[in-house]
Amino acid sequence: GDVLLEVEGLKKHFPMRTKGIIRRPTDPVKAVDGISFTLRKGETLGVVGESGCGKSTAGRTVLQLLEPTAGTIRYQGRDITGLKGGDLRRLRTEMQMVFQDPYGSLNPRQSVGAIIGAPFAIQGIEPTGGVRSAVQGLMQRVGLNPEHYNRYPHEFSGGQRQRIGIARAIALRPSLIVCDEPVSALDVSIQAQVVNLLEDVQNEFDLTYIFVAHDLSVVRHISDRVAVMYLGKIMEVADRDELYANPLHPYTQALLSAVPLPDPRKEHKRSRILLTGDLPSPVNPPSGCVFHTRCPRYKKELDDTQRERCVSEVPVQTSHGPDHEVACHFAGPASLDVM
């Protein structure tokens, strides 16, 4: 399909606050450190990785809820990086966010009607038929009772609150929604309902999603393509089926080896790839390939010359077939002896 969004070399570094009277410059937290991807109209790009890998920050920076440190974001061919004021506000009619914690992201002192109607007020838009009827239509659409218009967030369950968040996100008919772990805080029994709702409104309103999550099963279900992040970088990005069937990055292979198989009878045929060592600090990430301190391939398969390359040279995202990019000098299928 058509490209909706192109992200190139995107970085988000957070300055560290120094304590005490003497202010010293310190190294920033490199939460997102040079990621590139494209997003096609109508698709869902899953973004996965352990907590602290920068996936939520990446989503927020793409929407410019956080100001990018470097890189470019092109939306429908137009460079939107660093838009401010009215330009940025107008962009919000195109791009919205659904947050992980539906309660934390909803103002407890506002009625649900005011929360869902807020985007109209912020944009100065008067929907046909009035705000109240538009909001009640949205409530109905996401499976809430429109008569509960005057209720407050605490009167709703977690799943209903996430429906409120979704109604607010679709109010302005955006093209792109970043869903930041939208079901992680919900009971497993509720998760599927919310995922189904997201899929329904995606089809109905022709939405494109960036779906940030750590649950690889949910991501597999909802995504067309998947990006795997580690320490602020994309390790591998590919078509969903390709990524799950043929992961070429040792990190992706390790993550996938820990996901329960849909058919438990096949479970005995594989082994887990265990990652040893702690996640390094994003303030001082390892040199060369940021994954080398934990990489099973580095530890068990490579010779000294090859290792030297992992330690000294940053691997860039390289094409390994149609719609499959890998950032590893020695990309390839997992060998049996690391498993």
Footprint on this chain of ligand SF4 (rule: CB under 6 A): 250, 289, 291-292, 295, 297-298, 310, 315, 328-330
Q: Which is nearer to ligand SF4, 156 or 298 (CB)?
A: 298
257 binds Mg ion (CB under 5 A): no
Q: What, of ligand SF4, Mg ion, none, does residue 297 touch, CB below 5 to 8 Å by kind?
A: ligand SF4
How many CB atoms are located within 10 Å of the residue 203 CB?
Answer: 9
Q: What, of ligand SF4, Mg ion, none, does residue 56 touch, CB below 5 to 8 Å by kind?
A: Mg ion
Q: What, of ligand SF4, Mg ion, none, does residue 113 touch, CB below 5 to 8 Å by kind?
A: none
105 binds Mg ion (CB under 5 A): no
How many CB atoms are located within 10 Å of the residue 269 CB?
Answer: 7
For CA atoms 243, 249, 252, 258, give the dihedral sign: positive
- Closest-CA residue to 323 (of 246, 222, 237): 237
- Closest-CA residue to 183 (of 207, 217, 153, 159): 159
56 binds Mg ion (CB under 5 A): yes
Residue 6's contacts (CB-CB under 8 Å, 6 or more residues apart) are: 38, 39, 72, 73, 74
Alpha carbon distance 90, 177 (integer Å): 15
Q: Which is nearer to ligand SF4, 165 or 285 (CB)?
A: 285
175 binds Mg ion (CB under 5 A): no
Alpha carbon distance 187, 193 (integer Å): 11
Q: Which is nearer to Mg ion, 81 or 184 (CB)?
A: 184
Alpha carbon distance 131, 133 (integer Å): 6
Least distance in angstroms from the C-beta of 99 to ligand SF4: 32
What spatial distance separates the first Cα and last Cα of the chain, rounded to whole Å?
37
Q: Which is nearer to ligand SF4, 13 or 292 (CB)?
A: 292
Structural contact between residues 207 and 176, judged by C-beta atoms closer than 8 angstroms? yes
Least distance in angstroms from the C-beta of 188 to Mg ion: 19
Q: What, of ligand SF4, Mg ion, none, does residue 328 touch, CB below 5 to 8 Å by kind?
A: ligand SF4
Q: Which is nearer to Mg ion, 75 or 230 (CB)?
A: 230
Output DSSP code: residue 135: H
Q: Which is nearer to ligand SF4, 6 or 50 (CB)?
A: 50
Residues that bind Mg ion in the complex, under the rule CB under 5 A = 56
